[in-house]
């Protein structure tokens, strides 16, 4: 349960960051929410959950391998193992989206902005929100 709830909380963080940014953009710059925004939001949610699952799966793999370590040390070690993979995946997507933002058309500009914000937020939250929340939950349980 604790893995799933931590992943959902990180997912909600990512969705709320994108929704919050676009509510501000809508208020100040009259950006409208359309079907592409919903598509971008669903893509961000999928990306966020996938990234968090990769980290949590590594934690579950390392728990039996490191029985004498504290839970926080296992999570820290697992984050170290998956950090390069997470950053490389996100950097590749961000570079592609930046190229699309620079050279793409006006009709997909806000779609790409939503994806960029969501991917950056998702990478941040799977490392700095989901894993510490999991450690906090486990620490409070004991």
- Residue range 59-68: mean pLDDT, rounded: 95
Contact 68, 139 (CB under 8 A): no
Confidence class of residue 76 from pLDDT cuts 50, 70 and 90?
very high
Instruction: Calculate the alpha carbon distances from 31 to 19, 59, 111, 120 in Å.
Output: 12, 40, 11, 20
The overall average pLDDT reported for the chain is: 94
- Cα separation, 117 vs 140, in Å, equals 32
Indicate the pTM of the whole model.
0.91
């Amino acid at each position: 349960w604790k893995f799933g709830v931590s992943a959902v909380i990180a997912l909600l963080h990512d969705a709320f960051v994108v929704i919050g940014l676009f509510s501000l953009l809508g208020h100040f710059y009259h950006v409208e929410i359309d079907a592409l925004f919903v598509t971008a939001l669903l893509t961000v949610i999928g990306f966020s959950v996938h990234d968090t699952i990769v980290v949590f799966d590594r934690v579950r793999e390392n728990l039996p391998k490191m029985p004498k370590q504290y839970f926080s040390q296992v999570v820290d070690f697992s984050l170290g193992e998956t950090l390069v993979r997470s950053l490389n995946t996100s950097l590749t997507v961000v570079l592609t989206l930046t190229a699309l933002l620079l050279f793409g058309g006006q009709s997909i500009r806000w779609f790409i902005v939503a994806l960029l914000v969501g991917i950056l937020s998702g990478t941040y939250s799977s490392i700095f929100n989901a894993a510490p929340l999991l450690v906090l939950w486990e620490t409070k349980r004991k």
